[in-house]
Amino acid sequence: MKYFSFLFLFSAFFIFTSCATVEKQIPRDIASLQSSGAMEGIWFLQGTSSTRGPYNGELELRKSSDGTYDAIRVITYINYFYDGLKVQEVWSGKAVAAGDTLVMSYDLRQADFIEKLGTQKREPSDFKNPITVVTRFAVTDKGLSSQFSDKKVSNYTEWITTRRNLEAKPLWINLRTNIDAQGPKVPLAVRGVINLFKRDVGFTKDPFVQSFKNRKEFKEERPFIVFDPTDYVFYQNNKDIIRVVNKVTDDISITEASVKRNAYSPTLKEKAASYEKNTVTHHINEIGMVSKADVDANGKLVAYRYDGDSALWTGMYIGSQSMRYLATKDPEALANVRKSLRAIFMLIDITDDPKEFARTLMPYSPGEPIPNKWHQGKGIYSNVLWLEGGNNDMYKGLTHSMMWASLVIPETDQEIWSHLRDKSRRLMGLRTFDEKPQNQAPTYGLVALINKDKNARDKYESTYKKLSWKPSSYSLDTTFYWHGSADWSGINLGLVGDITDIMIADRMGESKIRDRLRERLMDSWVTYSPAQRHLLTMVAYGFAYSHGTRGGNFREESSDDKFMTSLAQSVWGLREIPYPRPNLDVSINHSLRPDWCISPIPRLFWKGLKRPEPPVEYFYQGLYNYPVFEHQAFTSNFVWKDTAFGFKDDHSRGSENAGVDYLYAYWLAKYVGIPNFE
């Protein structure tokens, strides 16, 4: 495409110059610049768009080794605003100058990753076919002037006059890059299992999958992380501008750019403050559970809407506020812990069954219909509905919340501590405790810690000794990452459990158990390090690495330099999360991009055992992990548990997801002291 555009530029140049047979009077400043060959520089640019009105800007011409100029056009509209922000266009291309003529060529994308926004829709051809915009600047009384069109939305008239010298760096630099995320070779036995599942679910013969079989990254099973720090520094210094880069400027491309702006413009501290306020007002329901929110066009709360995994998210929210309190001593954080902790207690009380606990809670008015799998509480809980299905994942939220609460709530708070003592003991009666041996040791430890119970402590120690001889060993590395395939939500669940387990052991003075748990955490980090799971990296630093733990896998497969490089990179996991999250009717589809490729390994391939078997589309995943602001920001309720290589999703306007994912990572980073975090 670049070669085609280059030829197109020269063809256009010769056509334009051959038609210019009438000699024109060249203004003195232009003539002197041309006579000395001084077209190189940064030119002041003015113009008008047929759709967005007048603009000012600059045009940089920098000599290239091929005899042309590298051109960068940066313009900002004077009277046009989007959501109260200025709009800026950045185009990069090529230029050829001779005599009194300057011919320029830019390739603009018609579509990037939003397929549909409201009633506006991109066509598949828009993603594959960029528009080549060719402009011819000719001498006029105003200077070098040009009229051209983006062939889609706008007609432009612009001119350049005065020039200044080049700066050390170009006006704009594309820093987007692909980071290899392949990892180690897939073991032969695992390869056989994957191939069996591929055949069983019809993946191998699927036409969509087969359409990518000749792609290099498909053949090599080579996934990539798309890292794009481009314009981060610009947005930190220019908070009132949305920058649309190398795209036809319209509502969709401005929306794509605005989400990146909302990620990069605020500081991490500013985003944390915004998410703190938004979480309290929009995402902690009347009872104290983390919830989604129904909002109006202005973002005002209309109603809380339940999140089926709220027991886990609420446990992590309590963790975030506990770490916030430990880092700042802010009494508001402690108040937030108390409110949501009471909801955690209710999850255990409300089922009226000592074996079961609820996944989440929501208020109930008598007479309202009760949805499937929901139940009305009894007695003092008759005005509350609870969702059945408390399981291992949700159990982690219970233990995590109680561990953190017991650390920050003073024992003089008799009401809370009475419940902590009671509910921690009742964990041992839950079905999930019996069915999952890995839950038993930390639960005994929690009971011993909160109740100062020697018998529970003895069981804690003996259970860990038994686990060391089982496949579910507490120190055995059971994680896996095979060329972009992993149990992504399990990574988040694992790190939550690791923090809980390590802190219980540490607070009990069980250094041998604690150190083995820390080694397990470092082993997990080594496994997933090719995929750059940023929260896991911060957790590994704070709860293992910074204490001197490395582990056998680390010593064999990694190094301190690699870890510290990943730790420095982990801050981008937070930088990529915008505030506010977009509230739009939107469809994201990266598979329409010409540079996208499907993975030859099915997503969660072991789910082929489910009956009924999921459709083959369920197993699609890409080979590109895009920045949060290009996918998850639009659709995710918790970015740390999402599949890394997702590519397609939808979101409905009026539904707002919580920002507990941001708060948890932010306050964890502050609590453990991530170096150079802000």
Instruction: Please write down the HEC assignment for all residues of 114-130.
Output: EEEECCEECCHHHHHCC
For residue 654, which of 590, 586, 604 has the smallest C-alpha distance?
A: 586
Residues 508-528 have pLDDT tens digits of 999 999 999 999 999 999 999
Cβ–Cβ < 8 Å for 42, 49: no
Is 589 part of a structural domain of the chain? no
Is-contact 160 39, C-beta < 8 A?
Answer: no
Pair 54, 77: CB distance under 8 Å: yes
| Residue at 514 is within a domain | no
pLDDT band at 37 (very low <50, low <70, confident <90, very high): low
pLDDT tens digit sequence for 474-503: 555 578 999 999 999 999 999 999 999 999
Confirm whether 26 is domain-assigned.
yes
| pLDDT value, residue 16 | 45
Report yes or no on 38 lying in a domain: yes
DSSP state of 9: H
The pLDDT of residue 474 is: 52
Q: Are 113 and 148 in contact (CB under 8 A)?
A: no
Quick one: tokens of 412? Answer: 């003089």
Which of 209, 253, 89 has the alpha carbon at shortest distance from 619? 209
CATH number at residue 44: 2.40.128.120
Q: Output the six-digit token pair for 12.
A: 């256009």
Across all residues in the chain, what is the average pLDDT?
A: 93
List, for residues 525-549, the tens digit of each pLDDT value: 999 999 999 999 999 999 999 999 9
- Tell me the angle at which helices 392-408 and 414-426 cross, rounded to the nearest 10 degrees: 150
Among the listed residues 351, 85, 371, the one whose alpha carbon sits nearest the alpha carbon of residue 244: 85
List Cβ neighbours of 348 (8 Å cut-off, separation of 6 or more): 357, 398, 423, 426, 427, 430
Average pLDDT score over residue span 266-288:
99
Domain assignment present for residue 343? The answer is no
Q: How many domains does the chain have?
A: 1
Burial of 260 per CB tally in 10 Å (0-12, 13-18, 19+)? buried
Q: What is the pLDDT of residues 208-252, one digit of tens each?
A: 999 999 999 999 999 999 999 999 999 999 999 999 999 999 999
Sheet holding 624-625, edge to edge: 177-180, 224-227, 624-625
Per the listing, tokens 């060993």 go with 473
Question: Both tokens of residue 296?
Answer: 């109006």
pLDDT at 36: 43
What confidence tier does 468 reach under pLDDT thresholds 50, 70, 90?
low
pLDDT for 27: 45
Task: List the domain range (segments joined by +) for residue 154.
Answer: 2-164
Chain centroid, CA 476 distance in Å = 30
Quick one: which of 623, 624, 648, 621 has its CA closest to 634?
648
Give the chain's length. Answer: 678
42 Cβ contact partners less than 8 Å away, ≥ 6 residues apart = 58, 59, 60, 61, 163, 164, 165, 166, 167, 171
Residue 109 included in any domain: yes
| Residues 432 and 439 sit within 8 Å (Cβ to Cβ) | yes
Please name the helix (run of DSSP H) or strand (run of DSSP E) that holds residue 220, with its range, or none. Answer: helix 216-220
Phi, psi dihedral angles at 560 (to 5 degrees): -65, -40
Any domain includes 91: yes
Please tell me the predicted confidence (pLDDT) of residue 18.
44
| Cβ neighbours of 621 (radius 10 Å) | 23
Nearby residues of 509 by Cβ (< 8 Å), 6 or more positions away: none
DSSP structural state of residue 281: I
Looking at residue 39, its amino acid is M
pTM of the model: 0.93
Q: Per the domain annotation, does 100 fall within a domain?
A: yes
The residue behind tokens 């496949």 is: 471
CA-CA distance, 264 to 262, in Å (whole number)? Answer: 6
Rg of the chain, C-alpha, whole Å: 29
pLDDT at 462: 95
Would you call 397 helix, strand, or coil by DSSP? Answer: helix
pLDDT, greater one: 33 or 196: 196
Residue 408 · residue 330 · CB < 8 Å: no
Q: Which helix (H) or strand (E) holds 361?
A: strand 361-363
pLDDT of 4 > 90? The answer is no
